[in-house]
Chains A and B, each alone.
Chain A
Amino acid sequence: QKEVEQNSGPLSVPEGAIASLNCTYSDRGSQSFFWYRQYSGKSPELIMSIYSNGDKEDGRFTAQLNKASQYVSLLIRDSQPSDSATYLCAERGNNRLAFGKGNQVVVIP
């Protein structure tokens, strides 16, 4: 069974700092990876997708994929209080997404 692991506990970062989130996956054949943001009481919303090894930047967000080591990371630069949320890592295989349990980020003003 595919597994996506997000093992870090809640992450507190000062406003303006970089938040770094990591995710590992078990299926070496997985090709597509996603980061979702979920505010408390709301549904997940897609913020980044990555398919190729290396970095992908979108505004203040950078996703990094390392297929050899089977990990995906998300960097949030210049963190803002509005970034306080739970971030879900997901991999896509067999026409469905498998999600990690998420990491809570708290940005402290």
Chain B
Amino acid sequence: DAGITQSPRYKITETGRQVTLMCHQTWSHSYMFWYRQDLGHGLRLIYYSAAADITDKGEVPDGYVVSRSKTENFPLTLESATRSQTSVYFCASSESSGQGQDGYTFGSGTRLTVV
């Protein structure tokens, strides 16, 4: 199916475990992003990528690792999950860079609970 897909939709994990959230897009968009959404904080950027093998930190990168070996995939790894990382995680993609009027298209989200 065309679009941007995230998996899993729901995940419960224990403190200290490594968790990887997957994101896949079929448009060959150059830019991909990971946000987390928490009550009282809104959407906050974790990491983003301008192209394969190019990634950069966002507002709240600590405790997360990303990679982008292929244009269509942008996995997010929590190296050692903490309860503060309980959140809803959204992946997004965008065709262009710079100051254009292209917004982002978001995936359906992953609801992660760390116990």
Residues of A in contact with B (beta carbons under 8 Å apart): 1, 31-32, 34, 36, 42-46, 49-51, 88, 90, 92-93, 95-102
Known contacts A101-B40, A101-B41, A102-B42; is A95 also within 8 Å of B106 by CB? Answer: no
The residue from B35, B44, B101, B108 contacting A32, defined by CB atoms under 8 A apart? B101
Complex contacts, A32 vs chain B, CB 8 Å? 99-101
Q: How many interface residues does chain B have, given as a range?
A: 20 to 34
Residues of B in contact with A (beta carbons under 8 Å apart): 31, 33, 35, 40-45, 48, 50, 58-59, 90, 97-109
The residue from B90, B98, B100 contacting A44, defined by CB atoms under 8 A apart? B90
Query: When the two chains form their complex, are residues A46 and B31 in contact, meaning their CB atoms are under 8 A apart?
Result: no
Known contacts A32-B99, A32-B100; is A46 also within 8 Å of B42 by CB? Answer: no
The residue from B42, B50, B103 contacting A100, defined by CB atoms under 8 A apart? B42
The residue from A1, A92, A99 contacting B43, defined by CB atoms under 8 A apart? A99
